[in-house]
Structure 1
Amino acid sequence: MTYAVAALVDIDDYIASEQAQGLVWARGQLERTARAVNAATGGRAQARPPEEWLVLLSGPDPDALMSEAVVLAEEVRARIVRETAWTATVSLSPPSLGGGAAEREARRINDLKLVLGGDRVITPAPPYRGQSLTPPVRIEQELTRRVQAGDRNGAAGLLASWVDRCAGEPGVDPQTLRSWLIGQLLFVVDAVNTTRLADGSTDWVRACARLPVEDIIVVGDIHERSYLHIWLRETLGRLMPAPSRHDILAVAEAYLAQHFADPGLRLATVAAAVSASPFYISHLFAEERGTTFLRHLTGLRLRHARKLLATTDRPVDEVAARSGYSSAKALRGVFQRHVGCSPTEYRRQRAR
């Protein structure tokens, strides 16, 4: 009886490096890699364009065959590192009774590269310690903020970091990781969707038109985390419309309305929250509202302070704290400049 073991040689980060260095550079590296692989395997490697090679080993003893495959895999990896600018992952199938079955198993095992990372030999028995059913961290609140701000790069970066964190969780397999990611993408679809049914629930028929089935299917073929990051940026670019200046200003105003009572609130804080530059936020307030950021913030704080002074008996220092001022003295200074009297006098006038 003759057994077969497949060794699948897969260049690490091929698409990312091609995008970074250019097609001509990548083609030159592929030629060098092909020579290295053929030298290590004695010409037995079969090219699987654009960046894979398959080596089939056969023999009557499955244990000896696996040992031979591991040695060969390490030699292939070492030559690629020495002779090219790349690293590679070699995935080994368990011994089987046919070359076709061995190649399918090697590809299945190569899928583990998504969670294990590259630059290694992946054997048929990866060291998993159980299955993780929930992500190690939830990012929906921060993801919502970035989506609502129209920050496509920020949202993609957040999801990419989250994927890397989840991939390092003990027991996570590629399918679990993909399921979590698809859940986050559906969350983004819901966040950007403005159409609701009569009962207020999401119109998923329209919402999912933003995320075609083909895009979801593609995730199942990605086994390289660097490519997954690229795919995320491209997908979020399609899911999230580019924000208009009016959208950015509306988000900035909503953030101010929610956080004006924070004495430490600054223009830079708001700009970071809406993923825009402080200069651009200042420009939008001047162009669209005919005012400045500081005047707008002061107006929010004074309006709230006036309401508290007129409708409650709270001490002035408490009114100041609830309106975004660090002290009663600071509130009195603002009142004198903008209202023409002190907070106490304002309260007395309103009581008449």
Structure 2
Amino acid sequence: MTYAVAALVDIDDFMASEQARGQTWARHQLRHADQAVRAATSTRIDATCHSLPPEEWLVVLTGADPGALMTDARELAEELRARIVRETAWTATVSLGAPSLGSGAAERAARQVNDYKLVLGGDRVIAPPVDEGAAPAPHESAWPASSPRPHESTALTPPVRIEQQLTRRVRAGDRNGAAGLLAGWVDRCAQEPGVDPRTLRNWLIGQLLFVVDVVNRARLADGTTDWVEACARLPIEDIIMVGDIHERSYLHMWLRETLGRLMPPAPRRDVLALAEAYLAEHYTDPGLRLATVAAAVNASPYYISHLFAEERRTTFLRHVTGLRLRHARRLLATSALPVDVIAAHTGYPTAKALRGAFRRHVGCSPTEYRRAGLRPES
């Protein structure tokens, strides 16, 4: 009887790196990766290698002894992973299925194991243990003992809930903030003991449906959500696609794209107006930070910075500095308060900090400004 073991070689973060560095660079790296995989398998008469574009290879080993075959497959998997790390700018995950009868069954077994990359991360060999006492190789991750086998159900619940924060970002129209929140939540959930890819995806789909419910304004006569209308925003094809994603970096990209479609365009000027109003009331606080303002208006710090750049052609820091210095000039011109007191009234922790800001932006010291009898801008 002849057994087969499949090793699925999967480049880590391929889509993200191609997007960041371009297709030409990615094609060049793929050629090196292909050479590395074929060099590792070319000397083995019991191995066949097939390229699975764009960034996978299927290596199948055959033999009569399933135990010895699995040992050989583990050694080859380590070599494959090491060669790609050494000869390309990438890392790779090599997933090994259990010995099977036939190459088709062997490939399916390897893909089931590769699904665990979503939970475990990349740059490793993933293999189900041959026996309870088998020790994994240096870079090998055996099937997590606390995780269920494929198609087993779990009663786990997410370690943290983010619906409240998610609602604020969705209602503020902050697509990037909502996507970032969901991506971070997925990463946190993946670390939960016993979680498997199916459970992680089910939790994520639940959050996406929650976003659909928050975005959708249609209600039935009894006040409940009109899910026929709501689910038109999230086609079944999108939900099904989640099941094919086993790379967390790609999942993060997919979340940004999906939330971009789900959420209406951000009310940019409304969010900016809220941020400016908050700053007008709190700029005298020396501890004021971008993150503080973002939390107060239910948006991400990145989004607030983006709005100041796009709508005001300035930065968050310059805007705050302008508010503080305008107030300082007014006090210098209309009062006899000492500089250190004015600093405390305008958001600067010390008189030295106020003097430094004055020299950079006004061109003189506060004392020189007062002596010159200059009037503040209206």
Q: Which amino acid aligns with 1:56?
A: V
For residue 72 of structure 1, what is the aligned residue in structure 2? Answer: 76
Aligned with residue 243 of structure 1, among 242, 254, 266 = 266
- Between the aligned partners of 1:208 and 1:15, the Cα distance in structure 2 is 28
1:169-204, Cα deviation, whole Å (9 max, x unpaired) = 111000000000000000111111111111111111
User: Residue 135 of structure 1 aligns with which residue?
Assistant: 158
- SS state at 2:185 partner: helix
SS of the residue aligned with 2:218? coil
Stretches of 4+ moved more than 2 A in 1? 244-253, 263-280
Match of 2:19 in 1: 19
Structure 2 Cα separation of the partners of residues 91 and 278 of structure 1: 41
| Percent identical | 71
In 1, are the aligned partners of 2:175 and 2:266 still within 8 Å (CA)?
no
Cross-structure match for 2:216: 193
Structure 1 residues 321-340: aligned runs within 5 Å: none
Question: Do 1:196 and 1:202's aligned partners in 2 also have CA atoms closer than 8 Å?
Answer: yes
Q: Which residue of 1 aligns with 2:104?
A: 100
CA distance in structure 2 between the partners assigned to 1:45 and 1:149 by the alignment:
51
Change (3 A) 1:193 1:115: same
- 1:241: how far off? 1.0
> Where does the alignment leave 5 or more consecutive residues of structure 1 unmatched?
285-293, 295-352
Picking from 51, 55, 60, the partner of 1:51 is: 55
1:4 is aligned to 2:4: yes
Aligned-partner residue type, residue 30 of structure 1: L
Q: Distance between the aligned counterparts of 1:56 and 1:216, measured in 2?
A: 32
Q: Shift in Å at residue 45 of structure 1?
A: 1.6
Q: Report if the CA contact (8 A) 2:272-2:307 is conserved.
A: no
1:12 partner amino acid = D
Q: For the residues of structure 1 that align with 2:306 and 2:146, how far apart are their CA atoms? A: 48
Matched-pair contact (CA < 8 Å) for 1:148–1:251: no
Query: In 1, Cα distance between the equivalents of 2:115 and 2:306?
Result: 44
Q: Partners of 1:247 and 1:209 in 2: how far apart?
A: 27
Which residue is equivalent to 1:317?
none
Q: Distance in 1 between matches of 2:268 and 2:60?
A: 58
- Deviation at 1:244? 2.5
The Cα shift of 1:279 comes to 8.2
- How many corresponding residue pairs? 279
**For each residue in 1:141-179, what CA deviation from the matched residue of structure 2 results, as whole angstroms up to 9, or x when unmatched?**
111111111110000000000000001111100000000
**Partner SS for 2:250:** helix
Contact 1:88 1:118 in 2 (8 A): yes
Post-superposition offset of 1:20: 0.6
Other-structure match for 2:170: 147
With normalisation by structure 2, the TM-score equals 0.68
Summarize deviations over 1:301-320 as a string: whole Å, max 9, x none. Answer: xxxxxxxxxxxxxxxxxxxx
Q: Using the alignment, how far apart are the partners of 2:293 and 2:9 within structure 1?
A: 49
- Cα root mean square deviation, aligned: 2.7
TM-score by length of 1: 0.73
1:42 maps to: 42
- Structure 1 counterpart of 2:242: 219
Per mean C-alpha deviation after superposition, the further-off stretch among 41-50 and 211-220 is 41-50
Residues 4 and 95 of structure 1 are in contact (CA less than 8 Å); yes or no, is this contact kept in structure 2?
yes
Distance in structure 2 (CA, Å) of the matches to 1:156 and 1:277: 17
Is contact 1:271-1:278 (8 Å) kept?
A: no
Question: Cα gap change, 1:245/1:110 in structure 2, threshold over 3 Å: closer, same or farther?
Answer: closer
Match of 1:122 among 103, 118, 126: 126
1:207 aligns with 2:230: yes
Q: Distance in 2 between matches of 1:36 and 1:17?
A: 19
Compared CA separation, residues 272 and 58, structure 1 to 2 (3 A): same
**Structure with the higher fraction of residues in helix conformation:** 1
Q: Structure 2, unaligned stretches of length 5 or more?
A: 130-142, 148-153, 313-322, 324-378
CA gap of 1:185–1:54, structure 2 versus 1, over 3 A, is same
* Preserved CA contact (<8 Å) 1:132 1:169: no
Q: 1:153 to 1:102 in 2, by over 3 A?
A: same
SS at match of 1:198: coil
Which structure 2 residues correspond to residues 194-343 of structure 1 after superposition, within 5 A? 194-245=217-268, 247-248=270-271, 269-274=292-297, 275=299, 276=304
Q: Deviations over 1:206-254 (max 9, x none)?
A: 111110101001000000000000000000000011122464378779x
Match status 1:113 vs 2:117:
yes
